[in-house]
Amino acid sequence: MPQWPRSQLLRHGPELPMAERVRRYRHNISLIRASGRRVPTALADTLDRKKIEAWFVAGDATSRHLKTLIARAARVRALVRGQP
């Protein structure tokens, strides 16, 4: 069974400029494919720059939405418990 190339994968977090995120993401997808492993379904299996950028934008929007929902739930819980 092919080995997962974990030690060679590059981080592509939101702290990086979009161009660098896309470059690192493309590197990772190419590396995973070259290793003979399948690209995980949670990742966009593409090398197209525009599709990767759209995937990052959608992921960032989802993260913001979840953070907002969590903060609202915490406020509701505090109100139910009688805390301001």
Task: Give the pair of three-digit tokens for residue 4.
Answer: 């997962």
Check residue 7 and report its DSSP letter.
Answer: G
Task: Give the pair of three-digit tokens for residue 24.
Answer: 């690192």
pTM score of the predicted model: 0.79
Positive or negative, the CA dihedral 44, 45, 47, 51 is: negative
* Whether 25 contacts 51, CB under 8 Å: no
The whole-number average pLDDT for the span 3-8 is 88
- CA–chain centroid gap for 80, Å, is 34
The whole-number average pLDDT for the span 7-16 is 94
| 24-75: pLDDT as tens digits | 999 999 999 999 999 999 999 999 999 999 999 999 999 999 999 999 999 9
